[in-house]
Amino acid sequence: MRRSHSRGVHSKILKKSGKSIDFHEILSTKDRDTLIDVMREKEVKSLINGDIDEIAAYLKKQFKIDLSSHKDWNQFKERFYRRHILIHNSLKPDKKYRAKSGYKGKEHQLSITNFYLKRSITLYKKFAKHITNEMIKKFS
């Protein structure tokens, strides 16, 4: 993609985000291209710090990519939220995990088997490929 074309695409995406940037950041950049780079980086950082439902909503709004219509969406989502309780709650289901994954089981610690891990890796690859292919179609 040509640099000027990609700048135009980035500008359109950033305009639709509804976010703003402060005067200090604007005045600290040397030119418009650098400002767009700063804004793009800020947008990506805010996105990757969100949960999978927020990421899916963003992709749907900004790029018309509907992850929730994918047949493996619920399995993928459960993996995302299980990863969260692995990191933050010793694999014990919390309120967020229950609400987001639909888990209704007991309060005991969950586990991650080799089969579960392999299936999770397969799902992450599948969704990454799906998003990549959709982006290529939109921006090629």
Dump pLDDT digits (tens) for 84-123.
999 999 999 999 999 999 999 888 899 999 999 999 999 9
Q: State residue 1's pLDDT score.
A: 45
Long-range residue pairs from 38-41, CB within 8 A, at least 24 positions apart, any chain: 39/14, 40/10, 40/14
The pLDDT of residue 128 is above 80: yes
Within 8 A by CB and 6+ apart from 34, the residues are: none
User: What are the tens digits of pLDDT across the range 15-68?
Assistant: 666 667 777 777 778 887 887 787 878 877 877 778 899 999 989 988 999 999
The answer to whether residues 91 and 32 belong to one domain is: no
Q: Count the domains in the chain.
A: 2
Structural domain that includes position 95: 67-140
CA 106-109-99 angle, to 5 degrees, is 55
- Find, among 52, 91, 84, the residue nearest to 68 by Cα: 52
The answer to whether residues 39 and 77 belong to one domain is: no
| Coil, helix or strand at residue 57 | helix
Q: State residue 2's pLDDT score.
A: 46
Q: State residue 9's pLDDT score.
A: 55
In a domain, residue 58? The reply is no
Q: State residue 10's pLDDT score.
A: 57
Q: State residue 29's pLDDT score.
A: 80
The answer to whether residues 71 and 45 belong to one domain is: no
Q: State residue 12's pLDDT score.
A: 64
Q: pLDDT category, 78, cuts 50, 70, 90?
A: very high
**Distance spanning both ends of the chain, measured CA to CA:** 8
In a domain, residue 57? The reply is no
